[in-house]
């Protein structure tokens, strides 16, 4: 009886499992196209592509998979009269050649139609790969390629994912399962997920990956692990992805047997040169080192009275003969609490401008504190004209609700990138620092802290795939538009149907602001729970460092709240241009979103809206809750457009988010309310519990610590 029942259940489940979409395909769904246009159906019928290398094989495989998904047919690979010609520019027949608008460089591509044929051309096999993915995306979106075609050239040279993955497969600030790198099986087994990972990145133009945590383990530099890293590098290479390693500054002592790691010590310098030579013997195209030093307990040049430039230059000299680079993180702060964390990286690095080797790029977080839901742009951007700077965004949502809170981050990235620094007058946007045009950098880069794990859909929340996607698009072009990125992702991942695309696009574009509203509106920041940063913790105080507490940042008392960073306070505002000092220092002109970041104000301060500060704070928290609830309704109304598996998964996460938005609102308003002494304004719901209840919530074993 039991066996018969189990058999019946299994037979019932088979068709459901076969039809389930678990999200593993990401934005490479290649779902069937209903009523395709003639050019779409014809373009993949007969394909000509010359070459005999792994990248060309990948291109052919991609065309087959896509054509099978779109039209249930496979392309015929031919030598003559193709409907699609994929060729290097130097190999194009004169009858099909067409001058691109500008030089394509080593990674750019040109897609166009001529004489009834579609052409993808580039100067390299990787340009052809990127162009192929772009053509397939246009087919999936059912877009028509214009007569002039599509010319795309990356504006940033090094487009890198930073994995904060540990060798034991835990992931620091990772909320989507364990690390996908199974070091125990490497190098003897290359998991299919490694190749699918490389494929997904190539589809976005990401060309580098650092596979280990910035809180580095020196063991990764030993032969035991280098042969494993080599296997990953070999797997990634055909997709145009270089591999980088995080270097622990104290490695010469920990695995080299030296008594010091002083960067000016010749034995130390020689050790790094020998170690680097060894790495390149394993990986001839090794990208170089990513380094976190003198931060949060990590060793660094400070231990020996040396500067960040002296530490970075030692490693730069080691990789220079092999064409390697050093990405040196600017997230550096003293073991002692400074007068304002906001100021420290600027004070540390600006005096070193021009003192770094030419193969060092300083990696700067988007804001000066630590990946808050919203921060003003980091004052280092524009302040080091002689030193290339690369942007570091966090894709994983350490301070944004972890994996269950929908927060489409492209608007946040765009807000930072398009902010004018005014360093060289109006028109000195952060994006111009990143693409090199502001200071004529030829060495450019962008890094994203990955949100990838062993969850079947890669990112926990299905919609968090969009943040990986958006990062890749903005790393390629920092001037990209959030709305276009969101719409493209929706069409590639779900459907082209307008009745689904339009409301989901609006929901995504509003989601970051929604999270800011119910977590940290009006410039409030760093009020998350201690350590794991999951949930509210405005009461967090005490411990070994005051700048690891909430009370350090919000300064709430009966007199008001906020961090005074004007001349009457820490004067961190002085690190920005005169234009921004005047705008953000003036209560009449500062945007509300930065108000309490730079000013300490009384609870009854009169806002431009006509509300007092306390009421304005409360209204923002309620607005965030209302929006989270509304998203649940929007998603339910669109059920018919989504497969059951993804619909149910996303719905459960949206319901968690709405519930936790209430938790945030109630806990924070109760805490600050004890100082304001004011009632909640009409329209803001009363908390469900008292403050003690919320302060006593203690979540066990929160992922990602």
Q: Where in the sequence numbering do the catalytic residues fall?
A: 296, 370, 398
Burial of 32 (0-12, 13-18, 19+ CB in 10 A): exposed
3-class SS string, 57-79:
HHHHHHHHHHHHHHHCCCCEECC
Measured distance between the N- and C-terminal CA atoms of the chain, rounded to whole angstroms: 47
Q: Which residue, 655, 653, 662, is CA-closest to 687?
A: 662
Q: What b/e readout covers 52-91, taking b as 16+ CB neighbours within 10 angstroms?
A: eeebbebbbebbbbbbebbbeeebeeeeeebbbbbbebee
Three-state DSSP at 359 gives coil
Phi, psi of 47 (to 5 degrees): -120, 135
Q: What b/e readout covers 385-400, taking b as 16+ CB neighbours within 10 angstroms?
A: bebbbbbbbbbbbbbb
Query: Alpha-carbon distance 391 to 364, whole Å?
Result: 5
3-class SS string, 211-257:
CCCCCCCHHHHCHHHHHHHHHHHHHHHHHCCEEEEECCCCHHHHCCC
Six token digits for residue 493: 């991942």
Query: Alpha-carbon distance 233 to 240, whole Å?
Result: 10
Query: Alpha-carbon distance 696 to 401, whole Å?
Result: 19
287 and 242 Cβ atoms separated by less than 8 Å: yes
Query: Alpha-carbon distance 386 to 597, whole Å?
Result: 29
Give the pairing of strands 109-114 and 117-122. antiparallel
Residues in the chain: 705
Three-state DSSP at 655 gives helix
Burial of 247 (0-12, 13-18, 19+ CB in 10 A): buried
Helix (H) or strand (E) holding 318: helix 308-319
- CA–chain centroid gap for 677, Å, is 40
Cβ contacts of 558 within 8 Å, gap of 6 or more? 675, 677
Six token digits for residue 592: 């509300």
32 and 70 Cβ atoms separated by less than 8 Å: yes
Rounded to whole angstroms, what are the CA distances from 432 to 72, 180, 364?
44, 34, 15
Query: Alpha-carbon distance 633 to 564, whole Å?
Result: 40
Cβ contacts of 605 within 8 Å, gap of 6 or more? 560, 612, 613
572 and 339 Cβ atoms separated by less than 8 Å: no
Q: What number of other Cβ atoms are within 10 A of residue 98's Cβ? A: 14
Could you identify the residue written with the tokens 């100067």? Answer: 123
The DSSP code sequence of 121-164 is EESSHHHHHHHHHHHHHHHHHTPPPPTT-EEE--S-SEEEEE--
241 and 286 Cβ atoms separated by less than 8 Å: no
179 and 210 Cβ atoms separated by less than 8 Å: no
- Axis crossing angle, helix 498-519 with helix 644-676, rounded to the nearest 10: 30
């Amino acid at each position: 009886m039991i066996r018969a029942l189990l058999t019946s259940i299994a037979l019932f489940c088979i068709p459901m499992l076969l039809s389930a979409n678990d999200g593993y395909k990401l934005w490479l769904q290649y779902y069937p196209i209903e009523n395709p246009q003639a050019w779409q159906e014809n373009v993949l019928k007969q394909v000509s592509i010359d070459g005999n290398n792994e990248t060309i094989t990948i291109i052919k495989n991609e065309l087959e998979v896509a054509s099978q998904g779109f039209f249930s047919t496979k392309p015929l690979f031919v030598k003559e009269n193709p409907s699609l010609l994929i060729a290097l520019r130097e190999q194009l027949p004169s009858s099909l050649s067409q001058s691109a608008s500008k030089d394509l460089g080593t990674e750019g591509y040109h897609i166009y139609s001529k004489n009834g044929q579609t052409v993808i051309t580039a100067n390299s096999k990787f340009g052809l790969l990127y162009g192929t993915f772009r053509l397939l995306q246009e087919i999936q979106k059912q877009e028509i390629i214009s007569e002039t075609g599509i010319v795309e050239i990356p504006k940033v040279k090094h487009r890198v994912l930073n994995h904060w993955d540990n060798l034991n497969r835990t992931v620091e600030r990772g909320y989507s399962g364990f690390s996908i790198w199974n070091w125990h099986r490497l190098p003897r087994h290359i998991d299919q997920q490694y190749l699918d990972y490389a494929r997904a990145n190539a589809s976005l133009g990401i060309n580098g990956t650092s596979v280990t945590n910035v809180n580095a383990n020196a063991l990764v530099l030993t032969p035991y692990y280098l042969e494993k890293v080599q296997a990953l590098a070999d797997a990634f290479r055909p997709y145009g992805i270089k591999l980088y390693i995080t270097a622990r500054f104290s490695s010469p002592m920990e695995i080299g047997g030296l008594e010091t790691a002083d960067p000016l010590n010749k034995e130390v310098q020689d050790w790094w040169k020998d170690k680097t030579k060894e790495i390149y013997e394993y990986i001839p195209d090794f990208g170089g080192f990513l380094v976190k030093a003198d931060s949060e307990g990590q060793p660094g040049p400070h231990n020996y009275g040396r500067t960040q430039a002296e530490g970075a230059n030692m490693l730069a000299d080691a990789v220079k003969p092999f064409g390697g680079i050093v990405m040196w993180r600017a997230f550096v702060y003293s073991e002692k609490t400074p007068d304002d964390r906001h100021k420290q990286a600027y004070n540390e690095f600006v005096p070193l401008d021009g003192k770094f080797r030419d193969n060092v790029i300083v990696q700067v977080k988007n804001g000066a504190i630590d990946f808050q839901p919203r921060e003003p742009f980091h004052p280092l951007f524009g302040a080091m004209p002689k030193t290339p700077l690369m942007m570091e965004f966090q894709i994983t949502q350490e301070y944004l609700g972890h994996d269950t809170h929908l927060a489409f981050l492209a608007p946040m990235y765009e807000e930072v990138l398009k902010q004018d620094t005014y360093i060289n007058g109006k028109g000195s946007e952060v994006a111009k620092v990143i693409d090199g045009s502001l200071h004529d950098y030829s060495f450019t880069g962008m890094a994203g802290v990955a949100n990838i794990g062993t969850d079947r859909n890669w990112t926990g929340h299905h919609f968090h795939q969009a943040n990986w996607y958006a990062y890749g698009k903005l790393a390629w072009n920092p001037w990209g538009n959030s709305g276009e990125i969101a719409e493209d992702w929706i069409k590639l991942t779900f459907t082209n149907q307008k009745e689904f695309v339009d409301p989901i696009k609006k929901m995504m574009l509003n989601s970051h602001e929604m999270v800011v509203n119910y977590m940290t509106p009006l410039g409030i920041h760093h009020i998350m729970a201690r350590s794991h940063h999951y949930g509210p913790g405005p009461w967090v105080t005490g411990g070994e460092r005051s700048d690891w507490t909430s009370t350090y940042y919000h300064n709430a008392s009966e007199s008001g709240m906020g961090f005074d960073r004007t001349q009457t306070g820490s004067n961190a505002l002085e690190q920005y241009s005169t234009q921004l000092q005047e705008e953000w220092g003036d209560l009449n002109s500062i945007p509300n979103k930065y108000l309490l970041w730079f000013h300490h104000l009384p609870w009854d301060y009169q806002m431009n809206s006509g509300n007092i500060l306390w009421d304005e704070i409360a209204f923002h928290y309620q607005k965030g809750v209302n929006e989270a609830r509304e998203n649940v309704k929007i998603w339910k109304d669109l059920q018919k457009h989504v497969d059951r598996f993804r619909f149910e998964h996303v719905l459960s996460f949206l319901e968690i988010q709405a519930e936790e938005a209430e938790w945030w609102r109630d806990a924070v308003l109760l805490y600050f309310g004890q100082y304001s002494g004011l009632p909640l304004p009409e329209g803001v719901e009363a908390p469900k519990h008292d403050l003690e209840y919320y302060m006593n919530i203690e979540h066990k074993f929160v992922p990602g610590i």
